[in-house]
């Protein structure tokens, strides 16, 4: 026998074996035994929906209706400038709809706003990231750490998105290790204000969401130095503090003197978010613009704080801003549902192999157990993630102002945010592949979702549980307790 005919025989044997395997997997004995022995399940769509998303779904449906507006229609493969403009337009429109409680609403309808925000997480991650930067971090910092005067002045303008804001913590030199940031704020006793300065290249603020084009205001985090009362030539380091700093003129949108801003450029995803770099050159910040709930210079020009330890002080400030992780844990589960819906529906219509002769109907890819085993465990895990994220949200509402509960919530939310975002990224890859080439097509969304959601593993605390856990607290015993709290939370049955 010639070499070529032996090769072709081997190839056809391999093909026959592959075809037999595919055929066998289509008629998986376990699946067929199960399907023949089980009684048909009577599943009420309404009951299931109620279990998943609550009894009263008025606001959920209201939100989905709002998302039908033309401003929300998906537009892919446009420039980052167009993408940012569209995102701004979407937010100006969305803010008018009243999707967040107003700043002075002392008893907001929690069920209403929870339902609206949950429904929004099924939408686009660029849109959600803008919300996270403005309504989550910028707004949250003023609300949680600012004086009554700052709240009364700036929150009404933030509510309507009339004055958008950003949150500038990360620097070129320091991301995960936020305690290492180098931006400086000096208290100038003579002028009665803080002087904000970027001392070197690594201290430039980097990746700041909304800074490149959108934000008028910023929360800027800096190391605070106060003149030593007993020796005016020395400075006392008081650790990291947050300042509310205008970046642009509200009328002209021109960048203000002493401030330099550059765009971080094209990213591999969420180009709807304009991430920027910021430098400060001896910028004067009025005393009242320090978010001084945990520490700042008082009216008499004296520094005061409820914490002696500056790390605890900074920890206390950040711990109040953990809510973004709940949003990411929830939106990871919901976006995984979107991708799985697309892939499973496609699997119910796409046919490959299984015809005995040309022209005969082929088998639905969703009927192959190989395909089922790829997607169904992910679907089941997604719903486990769904319930865990909802339990976390309930924990958020019940923590109140008890510092012990707040810290525990911080650790649990860091862990669940990590687990859920990792699951989302795995799901997006699997669903993209499950749709074959169609998974790459822009209008089929999954490819874009993959690019846009990738960053969820990085911002709001990188997806590395133990690094996240280690970032808070210092005692080994306490860390053990917190890890145990996360473990117990994940094992809860409710």
Ligand X SMILES: Cc1cc2nc3c(=O)[nH]c(=O)nc-3n(C[C@H](O)[C@H](O)[C@H](O)COP(=O)(O)OP(=O)(O)OC[C@H]3O[C@@H](n4cnc5c(N)ncnc54)[C@H](O)[C@@H]3O)c2cc1C
Site for ligand X in 475-494 (CB under 6 A): none
Token pair recorded at residue 477: 């015993």
Residue closer to ligand X, measured from CB, 133 or 446: 133
State how far the Cα of 223 lies from the Cα of 200, in Å rounded to an integer.
14
170 scored as a contact of ligand X (CB under 6 A): yes
| Smallest distance, ligand X to C-beta of residue 254, A | 22
209 scored as a contact of ligand X (CB under 6 A): yes
Q: Are the C-beta atoms of 196 and 185 separated by less than 8 Å?
A: yes
Residue closer to ligand X, measured from CB, 193 or 273: 273
Q: Are the C-beta atoms of 67 and 74 separated by less than 8 Å?
A: no
| Smallest distance, ligand X to C-beta of residue 133, A | 5
| Smallest distance, ligand X to C-beta of residue 216, A | 15
The closest residue (CB) to ligand X is 175
Give the range of 162-170, 243-251, 399-407, 479-487 binding ligand X by CB under 6 A: 162-170
x/- binding map, residues 240-279, to ligand X, per CB under 6 A?
A: ------------------------------x----x----
| Smallest distance, ligand X to C-beta of residue 14, A | 41
Number of helices and strands in the chain (H, E): 16, 11
326 scored as a contact of ligand X (CB under 6 A): no
Give the range of 21-29, 205-213, 363-371, 436-444 binding ligand X by CB under 6 A: 205-213
Site for ligand X in 98-157 (CB under 6 A): 133
State how far the Cα of 295 lies from the Cα of 225, in Å rounded to an integer.
12
Among 91, 127, 186, 207, binds ligand X (CB under 6 A): 207
Among 67, 141, 185, 208, binds ligand X (CB under 6 A): 208
Number of residues that bind ligand X (CB under 6 A): 19
Residue closer to ligand X, measured from CB, 170 or 214: 170
Residue closer to ligand X, measured from CB, 118 or 274: 274
Among 141, 169, 193, 425, binds ligand X (CB under 6 A): 169
168 scored as a contact of ligand X (CB under 6 A): yes
Among 66, 176, 202, 429, binds ligand X (CB under 6 A): 176
- Of 171, 182, 460, 482, the active-site residue reads 460
Q: Are the C-beta atoms of 318 and 141 separated by less than 8 Å?
A: no
| Smallest distance, ligand X to C-beta of residue 282, A | 22
Token pair recorded at residue 132: 């996270």
Kindly calculate the radius of gyration of the chain based on its CA atoms and give it in whole angstroms. Answer: 27
x/- binding map, residues 450-469, to ligand X, per CB under 6 A?
A: -----x--xx--x-x--x--
User: What percent helix, strand, coil does the chain show, rounded to 5?
Assistant: 55, 15, 30
167 scored as a contact of ligand X (CB under 6 A): yes
State how far the Cα of 67 lies from the Cα of 379, in Å rounded to an integer.
25
Residue closer to ligand X, measured from CB, 146 or 209: 209
Q: Provide the Cα torsion 214, 443, 336, 431; round to 10°.
A: -140
Letter string b/e over residues 173-203, b meaning 16 or more CB atoms within 10 A of that residue's CB = ebbeebeebbbbbbbeeeeebbbbbbeeeeb
State how far the Cα of 217 lies from the Cα of 150, in Å rounded to an integer.
12
State how far the Cα of 86 lies from the Cα of 380, in Å rounded to an integer.
35
Residue of 191, 188, 104, 111 whose CA lies nearest to 153: 104
Residues 6+ apart with CB under 8 A from 3: none
State how far the Cα of 434 lies from the Cα of 340, in Å rounded to an integer.
9
Give the range of 25-33, 182-190, 202-210, 477-485 binding ligand X by CB under 6 A: 202-210
Q: Provide the Cα torsion 5, 6, 7, 13; round to 10°.
A: 110
Per the annotation, the verdict on 304 as an active-site residue is no
State how far the Cα of 145 lies from the Cα of 313, in Å rounded to an integer.
12
User: Under the rule (CB under 6 A), what is the footprint of ligand X?
Assistant: 133, 166-170, 175-176, 207-209, 270, 275, 455, 458-459, 462, 464, 467
Report, as residue numbers or ranges, the catalytic residues: 460
């Amino acid at each position: 026998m010639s070499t070529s005919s032996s090769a072709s025989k081997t190839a056809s044997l391999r093909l026959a074996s592959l075809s037999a395997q595919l055929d066998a997997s289509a008629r998986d004995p376990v699946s067929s035994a199960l399907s023949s022995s089980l009684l048909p399940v009577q599943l009420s769509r309404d009951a299931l929906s109620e279990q998943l998303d609550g009894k009263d779904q008025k606001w959920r449906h209201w939100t989905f209706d709002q998302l039908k507006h033309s401003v929300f229609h998906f537009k892919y493969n446009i420039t980052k400038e167009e993408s940012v403009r569209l995102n701004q337009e979407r937010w100006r429109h969305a803010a008018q709809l009243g999707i967040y409680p107003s700043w002075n609403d002392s008893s907001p309808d929690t069920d209403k706003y929870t339902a609206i925000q949950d429904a929004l997480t099924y939408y686009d991650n660029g849109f959600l990231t803008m919300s996270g930067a403005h309504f989550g971090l910028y707004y949250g910092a003023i609300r949680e750490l600012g004086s009554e005067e700052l709240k009364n002045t700036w929150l009404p303008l933030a509510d309507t998105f009339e004055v958008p804001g950003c949150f500038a913590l990360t620097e070129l030199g320091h991301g995960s290790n936020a305690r290492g940031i180098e931006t400086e704020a000096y208290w100038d006793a003579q002028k009665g204000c803080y002087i904000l300065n970027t001392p070197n290249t690594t201290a430039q603020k980097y990746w700041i969401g909304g800074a490149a084009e959108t934000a008028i205001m910023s929360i800027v985090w800096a190391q605070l130095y106060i003149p030593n009362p007993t020796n005016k030539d020395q400075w006392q380091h008081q650790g990291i503090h947050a300042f509310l700093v205008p970046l642009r003129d509200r009328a002209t949108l021109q960048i203000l003197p002493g401030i330099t801003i550059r765009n971080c450029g094209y990213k591999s995803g969420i180009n709807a978010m304009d991430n920027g770099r910021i430098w400060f050159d001896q910028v004067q910040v009025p005393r009242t613009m320090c978010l001084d709930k945990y520490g700042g210079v008082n009216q008499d020009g004296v520094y005061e704080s409820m914490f002696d330890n500056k790390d605890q002080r900074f920890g206390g400030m950040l711990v109040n801003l953990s809510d973004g992780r709940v949003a990411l844990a929830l939106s990871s589960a919901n976006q995984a549902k979107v991708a799985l819906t697309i892939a499973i529906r496609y699997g119910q219509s796409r046919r490959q192999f299984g015809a005995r002769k040309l022209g005969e109907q082929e088998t639905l890819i969703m009927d192959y157990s190989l395909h089922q085993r790829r997607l169904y465990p992910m679907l089941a895990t997604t719903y486990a993630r769904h319930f865990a994220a909802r339990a976390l949200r309930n924990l958020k509402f019940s923590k109140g102002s008890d510092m012990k509960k707040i810290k525990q919530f911080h650790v649990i939310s860091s862990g669940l945010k990590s687990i859920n975002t990792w699951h989302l990224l795995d799901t997006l890859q699997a669903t993209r592949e499950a749709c074959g080439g169609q998974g790459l097509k822009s209008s089929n969304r999954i490819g874009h979702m993959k690019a846009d959601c990738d960053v969820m593993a990085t911002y709001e605390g990188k997806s590395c549980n133990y690094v996240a856990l280690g970032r808070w607290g210092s005692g080994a015993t306490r860390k053990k307790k917190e890890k145990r709290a996360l473990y117990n939370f994940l094992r809860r049955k409710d």
